[in-house]
Copies of this chain bind each other. A is one copy, B any other.
């Protein structure tokens, strides 16, 4: 068993053309003995965004706080606290903060792929 608040874990920061204003943490991963899937937590600052990318594994996302938009199939879709999002394998996607407070979400991936 492990309990950790995200605020107690030092984030990895991304601030470039691909990922702007993004802080990333592995909350539960292979180092904790998670055998099947991995939980990461992301914070996106107002005006920030994750990279627009595609990969061969799915995301299961839960929005904890804030207001964002998800790019998928050429369109932006609103996403807010309490939303669950499934992005299937090989679907191009990007998330941006569309509000004035930090966008916070957990994003889970299957084991065996890069954790961050």
Contacts and interface: CB of A to CB of B under 8 A. Distances in A.
Contact of A37 (B36, B72, B73): B36
Interface in A72-102: 72-73, 77, 79-89, 91, 93
A2 interface: yes
Contacts of A83: 3-6
A22 interface: no
A45 interface: no
B4 A62 contact: no
Copies in the complex: 2
Contacts of A32: 86
Interface of A: 1-7, 27-28, 32-37, 39, 41, 58, 60, 62, 64, 70, 72-73, 77, 79-89, 91, 93, 106, 108, 110
A34 B110 CA distance: 11
Contacts of A70: 1, 3
